[in-house]
Amino acid sequence: MSVAVCVGCGETKEGAFEPCDGCGLDPARGGTDRMLQARSLLLSERFFGEESLKELGRKIRTGEPVSYDTGRLSQLVEELKTQKLPVISRSTPGCSIVTWSVLGMLVVLAAGLAYLYGSWRH
Over residues 37-90, the pLDDT tens digits come to 999 999 999 999 999 999 999 999 999 999 999 999 999 998 888 876 554 444
Q: In this structure, what DSSP letter does residue 89 have?
A: -
Q: Where on the phi/psi map is residue 107: left (φ > 0), alpha (ψ -120 to 50), or beta?
A: alpha
Half-sphere exposure in the Cβ direction for 58 (13 Å, CA):
6
Q: Where on the phi/psi map is residue 31: left (φ > 0), alpha (ψ -120 to 50), or beta?
A: left
Give dist(CA 37, CA 115) in Å, integer.
54
Type of residue at 120: W
Domain extents in the chain = 3-89, 91-122
Residues 6+ apart with CB under 8 A from 31: 85
Instruction: State if pTM tops 0.85.
Output: no
Q: Where are the beta strands (DSSP E) in the chain?
A: 3-5, 12-14
CB contact at 8 A, 51 and 44: no
pLDDT digits (tens, 9 = 90+) for 101-119: 777 788 888 888 888 877 7
